[in-house]
A and B are shown apart, each in its own frame.
Chain A
Amino acid sequence: MTRLADPSTARFKALYDANFQAVLGYALRRVDQPADAADVVSETFLVAWRRLDDAPAGDYRPWLFGIARNVLLNQHRSTRRRARLGERLRAFLGGADVPDPAAGVAEQDRVRRALATLSAADRELLTLIAWDDLTPSEAAEVLGIAAGTARMRLARARERFARALGDAAPGAGHVRGVPHHFATEEGR
């Protein structure tokens, strides 16, 4: 009751409840082991709680994804695992029936192979929009770039992605074995 009376705690609770799933999804799509997403989610919300005064008004997702992105970057730099918070969530996700991103049908397989040929920057921008459901300006906020820049980069990334998809020979029925050509002129 005391807690609810405090405006910042109430604001954080609302933010947490409304965005937990989005942040979890963002994290799960970008880690190798589902359990690792627990670290990203707990760290992201912990930082958000501490920096609540910096939170923009309106939709919190771009701001939270921006934090999560930094958390992921830091996490990738080292394999050391921090287990301060979210231990229970970690255990839970470790045993949960999380869809395995690697188990795809042929179409998914093709799309992901095409995606893999793009640069990390292209991939990040495209997936923020297609998978995490952000608008280009929201994605710009996550990446810390201007909205106009994001739109320009998106157009180019889409071109490259479409070309990679074309190269991956859609519509040929089953993909058998290793495709003989999916390296584009962009390189990997």
Chain B
Amino acid sequence: MTDDLFRLRASNPLARQDLDGLVPASERAELLEEILMSAPVPARTQRPHRARRWVAVIGAVAAVAVLAIATPLALNRDDEPRPAAAGSGKPVDILVIGSDSRSCDGCEVDGERGAGRSDTTILVHLAADRGSAYAVSIPRDLEVSAPACGKRRGAGPQLWNMAYGKGGGACLAEQLESVTGELCEECRVTVDHVVELDFAAIPALVDALDGVEVCLPEKVADPYTGGRFRKGDQTLDGQQALDYLRLRHGLDDGGDLDRITRQQAFLASMTGKILAAGTLSDLAKVRAILEAAGSGLKTDMDLHALAELAADLDGIERNDVTLMTAPVKTDPQNLSAVLFDETAAAALFRAVANDAPAPSPSKPGEPRSAGVC
């Protein structure tokens, strides 16, 4: 019985030398690239905070979309007559994409590299009467069959955000149309416009907002970013905000306080500030904010469409906006992805496509102004 393990070792069907060079470096690198393309989601913190995170992110991106829509209006106010308010009589669907596409030092706010992934996708639906709106976030882990413009090598389902890296915002819009059309023919959503916000624009936005308030339960020094924060409530400037969003170290024994929670808190706080009375109605401020965002904000809307929408949006109060996440369920085959909950998703997108009230709305709470203390 002494040689049992020896004999078993010798019968290894695939010894180490068989594996040497079996897969060339190029193939290995390709897979690594694909994996890195999908955003890292710290599993421990992801589940409990997911819903809250989405609400915060939706809020922030939707708020910035409002700004994007208002920009040309503000910047061209002297030359362009403001069009008459009130709805144009047609529902409008706008796809708002939060992305991390600029390659620059310190832009990877979510620990991601800067090569174009959509971290956040929100479909904003404005009712024809402009009395209400709803925003539906599409989880980036949603498994879909991508349209040709965004299909990565090979066939089969892929994650929602992969199409963005390949085909950009227009392709993501096409993906939404085809994916909802697969749910049912009358569920097919038509995307009228696309707005893209680059996360890299956040520091400048923060400065233009005169800072964003957060709260830390203890003081922190992060050796990686050089960020230092005192305990308690504080107002962050743009650079501090970036350090804060990138903070991963120095809070190890802070247990429940992690990067994602901080990001949620931050975005919620920023949203609150943008939507706060005074910001949007102060054209000088809007102008400053938007100039700061610069190329970090992109949209396919022409001036006329933007001006019209900005006028329409004036009439929509925050309380008339319903924020929700597309109904999904865990993919039993794949721990790290989700699938549409087909019945509920069909009901939701049917409502979008037919300008009906959203089924079973879930109103979010007020954005927390201070964060995580």
Contacts and interface: CB of A to CB of B under 8 A. Distances in A.
A115 B155 CA distance: 38
B339 to A, nearest CB: 11
Given A20-B23, A29-B14, A87-B153, A47 B36 contact: no
Given A25-B16, A131-B9, A82 B334 contact: yes
Contact of B8 (A1, A21, A111): A111
Given A52-B40, A74-B335, A13 B32 contact: yes
B158 interface: yes
Contacts of A181: none
Interface string A1-12: 111011111001
Query: Chain B binding site: helix, strand, loop or mixed by DSSP?
Result: loop
Contacts of B112: 6, 9
B13 A9 contact: no
A89 B30 contact: yes
B102 to A, nearest CB: 9
A49 B38 CA distance: 9
A47 B114 contact: no
B43 A83 contact: no
Interface string B30-67: 11101110101111100000000000000000000000
Contacts of B13: 29, 99, 101, 104, 108, 112, 131
B239 to A, nearest CB: 16
A156 B143 CA distance: 45
Contacts of A70: 335
Contacts of A49: 35-36, 38, 40
Contacts of A88: 27, 30-31, 153-154
Given A24-B19, A50-B43, A6 B111 contact: yes
B42 A2 contact: no
Interface residues of A, number: 68
A125 to B, nearest CB: 11
B11 A74 contact: no
Contact of B23 (A24, A50, A101, A130): A24
Interface residues of B, number: 57
A114 to B, nearest CB: 9
B108 A6 contact: yes
**Best-buried of B32, B105, B159 by chain A (most CB within 10 Å):** B32
A81 B1 CA distance: 41
A43 B38 CA distance: 12
Interface in A24-79: 24-25, 28-29, 41-43, 45-47, 49-54, 70, 74, 78
B103 interface: yes
Contact of B335 (A2, A3, A47, A85): A47
Query: Chain A binding site: helix, strand, loop or mixed by DSSP?
Result: helix
Contacts of A16: 28, 32, 35
B12 interface: yes
Contact of A50 (B9, B11, B40): B40
Interface stretch (A145-153, A159-167, A172-180): A159-167
Contacts of A108: 10-11, 13
Nearest to A46: B35
Contact of A53 (B9, B19, B42, B335): B42
B6 to A, nearest CB: 9
B36 A84 contact: no
Interface string B90-112: 00000000000001110110011
B336 interface: yes
B14 A84 contact: no
Contacts of A85: 31, 34-35, 38, 158
B22 A111 contact: no
Contact of A111 (B11, B27, B113): B11
A121 B43 CA distance: 29
A2 B43 contact: no
Interface string A79-116: 01111111111111100101101001001100110010
Contacts of B153: 87-88
B5 A99 contact: no
Given A2-B108, A87-B156, A46 B333 contact: no
A183 interface: no
B31 A43 contact: no
Contact of A82 (B108, B152, B156): B156
A90 to B, nearest CB: 7
27 contacts: A2-B107, A6-B108, A6-B113, A8-B40, A16-B32, A20-B23, A21-B22, A24-B23, A25-B19, A28-B19, A42-B31, A42-B35, A45-B31, A46-B38, A50-B38, A50-B43, A80-B333, A82-B156, A83-B155, A83-B157, A84-B334, A85-B31, A93-B23, A96-B22, A104-B13, A108-B10, A111-B7
The 5 closest A-B pairs by CB, nearest first: A87-B154, A83-B156, A101-B13, A162-B1, A3-B113
